[in-house]
Structure 1
Amino acid sequence: MAPSSGRRSAPTKEQLEDRKTVGINKETVTNTVSTDYPGHFMDEDHAWDVDHFRDNFHVQFHQNDPFDSQFSLIGLDASIANAFRRILIAEIPTLAIETVFVHNNTSVIQDEVLAHRLGLIPFQGDKKGLRDFLKPFVKPAEGADQYSTTFDYNTVCLKLNVECTHNKDVGPNEKDPKKLYHNAHVYAKDIVFDPVGDKQPEIFSGEGIIKSTNPDILIAKLRPPQVINIEMHMHKGIGADHSKFSPVATASYRLMPTIKILQPILGADAKKFQECFMPGVIELEKVTKQEAAKKGSGYEGHQGELKAVVANPMHDTVSREVLRHEEFEGKVKLGRRRDHFIFSVESTGQWDSDELFLESVLMLKLKINKLKPQVTNMVRSF
């Protein structure tokens, strides 16, 4: 759009908020396209500025547990937020079982199925060792020995050797298989880390030893005299190669909901209005004396009655249930903040959930540093 020759007044704070809000209507969604670029609004400069970005961008944590975190990224474009999401899923390296050597398997589970189950078990270990010591595995050339590229810095060895036997000390009326037999159930905790080389025993020891994230994952059920004797090789990979290398069970984001009450909602209508949303989104408060005395507030003569107020819009699922009822028509406006992303990250265990986001930031910086000289050379070529 061409710049205007005349001067226009600067947009108000309310207008700026409306520009950033996606409209959620009864049957349509409006204002979905970003307008934060030069030339969209006359007499307004929206060129990207690092100082403006630094002042307006911030991170807000809502939950921060080792396996589950929820936080908001405020002041970002959707393309950057989505880049973090894709990196979290597919580009942060982790360890997973890649090769299974079956020496003996007399269980009812076929070798291929057993190997597949083992490959999906998440493991954890010393984070510095996972990040700095272990390198990605390079497959041997065609015709070369299968161990020609296997070293202690790219391969972790695990072993699982269990045999189901009778428990001679059990009572004659016992029916529980776990008490009748030893190793009736084979769990992830039965997998043993077998360090190789000189550095693995030092790096992956104590609290940093390679072990399953969840020791109670059931691998197989055995009965006497069934045996499982296998050796496994773990390699470092990324989710883009196979989902078993993904460090997250899920990584997603949603836009921050906005709820604006345009006209007072009182009494029975307020209770019905509250029920249209998830618990905690709308609260009921009594109309104060000051509000009832204020002319034009809509609360005149309603002192002490219950009114609906927005408490925590973040919990809203934007179901649009409230828009189905005629009594609320014109009294409420729903939307979503286009630059407010609520992330939910569930870690599989190798990294804490908040560390994963920091790793995604580092990965994006590395990708940018690789791209930057190429863009520079491309510009110089012209």
Structure 2
Amino acid sequence: MEIKVLEKDENTMRLLIKGVDTSFVNALRRNVLAEVPCMAIDEVVIIENSSVFHDEIIAHRLGLIPLKTDLESYNLPEECACKSEFGCNLCRVTFTLDREAKEGTITVYSGELVSENPNIVPVSDAIPIVKLAKGQRLRLEAYARLGRGKDHAKWQPVSTCAYKYLPKVNIDAKSCDACGRCVEICPKKVLVKKGDRIEIRDLLACTLCRDCADACPKEPPAIEVGWEENAFIFSIESTGALPPERIMIEAVKILKKQLKEFASQIEVQRLERTKNN
């Protein structure tokens, strides 16, 4: 297997993965979405709420605020030694919020949540929670814990995780008369006309729609669009809870563990059949 980083910044990463099949890449994608844990608010105690929002709506909005996550310092609740439904300082983080509109209408933002751990805070201070009119107040306690996306979308560490085949575009220079129709119709501007020929400007932007081949007046078309069978472009966009490279590392660790468990189950079944025979 060969992996190359095509693009990377604070929250996004794009990889070129070669030498694997669709099942492997899709298993990796599913683990990113469903198995890699991150922090999210799971329980909210409303002490006072005179806003126009019901308590449940505020709790729901709080749960969807992405939180920076520290996987080394906290345990999943089901794996924590405390075995308590209320949690402990190794599996739960407490947030408090107390805001009152004394002079006029105000907006309460995520940055006003006060965390007991300065490392576990909202990824953005500018996420609106509720508006309070003069005289209204919101006071609450919220408890965050680690969870997995398979249990609720608020525990997904990514906003986007997808893959596509590596495009392969061939232009028949002898047949192509550089009419430019393929260049005009391409939604991603993959092609460019240079003089009396058509060239590929950005191969990785191709979505394999094949509009260019359909627009070509030649028969057969002078341009052919396909893909490499065992090469994929894997794109990931983090919510900010974890760096994208950490998400990928955790997903690979989980996949490796799953494969070991699967192999052990196969071995158990094989031994049972051998014993029965």
- Structure 1-normalised TM-score? 0.66
Q: Helix, strand or coil for the counterpart of 1:228?
A: strand
Counterpart in the other structure of 1:363: 254
Counterpart in the other structure of 1:191: 113
Counterpart in the other structure of 1:95: 39
C-alpha distance in structure 2 between counterparts of 1:124 and 1:132, whole Å: 12
Shift in Å at residue 283 of structure 1? 2.9
Counterpart in the other structure of 2:183: 274
C-alpha distance in structure 2 between counterparts of 1:362 and 1:138, whole Å: 19
Counterpart in the other structure of 1:108: 52
Q: Deviations over 1:303-322 (max 9, x none)?
A: xxx21123332111222222
Distance change in 2, residues 1:275/1:233 (3 Å): same
Q: Deviations over 1:185-205 (max 9, x none)?
A: 1000000002xxxxxxxxx44
Q: Helix, strand or coil for the counterpart of 1:123?
A: coil
Q: Helix, strand or coil for the counterpart of 1:102?
A: strand
Q: Helix, strand or coil for the counterpart of 1:132?
A: coil
1:316 aligns with 2:206: yes
Please, which of 144, 156, 164 is the counterpart of residue 101 of structure 2? 164
Counterpart in the other structure of 2:89: 152
Distance change in 2, residues 1:265/1:326 (3 Å): closer
Shift in Å at residue 148 of structure 1? 5.5
Distance change in 2, residues 1:113/1:149 (3 Å): closer
Q: Residues 1-382 of structure 1: matches in 2 within 5 Å?
A: 57-125=1-69, 130-138=70-78, 149-166=86-103, 181=104, 184-194=106-116, 204-205=117-118, 209-262=119-172, 263-267=174-178, 269=179, 271-286=180-195, 306-325=196-215, 327-330=217-220, 331-381=222-272, 382=274
C-alpha distance in structure 1 between counterparts of 2:129 and 2:8, whole Å: 30
Q: How many residue pairs end up in the alignment?
A: 268
Q: Deviations over 1:11-61 (max 9, x none)?
A: xxxxxxxxxxxxxxxxxxxxxxxxxxxxxxxxxxxxxxxxxxxxxx21122
Paired residue type of 1:377: V
Shift in Å at residue 349 of structure 1? 1.0
Shift in Å at residue 274 of structure 1? 1.8
Deviates more, 1:62-71 or 1:93-102: 62-71
C-alpha distance in structure 2 between counterparts of 1:151 and 1:322, whole Å: 59
- Structure 2-normalised TM-score? 0.89
Shift in Å at residue 107 of structure 1? 0.6
Structure 1: stretches of 5+ with no match in the other structure: 1-56, 140-146, 167-180, 195-203, 287-305
Instruction: Tell me the percent identity.
Output: 26
Q: Helix, strand or coil for the counterpart of 1:345?
A: strand
C-alpha distance in structure 2 between counterparts of 1:274 and 1:149, whole Å: 61
C-alpha distance in structure 2 between counterparts of 1:156 and 1:308, whole Å: 58
What is the root-mean-square deviation of aligned Cα atoms in Å? 2.1
Paired residue type of 1:318: L
Judging by fraction of residues, say which structure has more strand.
2
Shift in Å at residue 73 of structure 1? 1.0
Q: Deviations over 1:269-316 (max 9, x none)?
A: 1x2232232455223334xxxxxxxxxxxxxxxxxxx21123332111
C-alpha distance in structure 1 between counterparts of 2:264 and 2:215, whole Å: 57
Paired residue type of 2:136: Q
Distance change in 2, residues 1:215/1:328 (3 Å): farther
Contact 1:264–1:308 (CA under 8 A) maintained in structure 2:
no
Paired residue type of 1:184: I
Distance change in 2, residues 1:106/1:377 (3 Å): same
Paired residue type of 2:207: T
Contact 2:181–2:215 (CA under 8 A) maintained in structure 1:
no
Distance change in 2, residues 1:326/1:350 (3 Å): closer
Structure 2: stretches of 5+ with no match in the other structure: none
C-alpha distance in structure 2 between counterparts of 1:329 and 1:216, whole Å: 56
Paired residue type of 2:194: E
Shift in Å at residue 149 of structure 1? 4.5
Q: Helix, strand or coil for the counterpart of 2:72?
A: helix
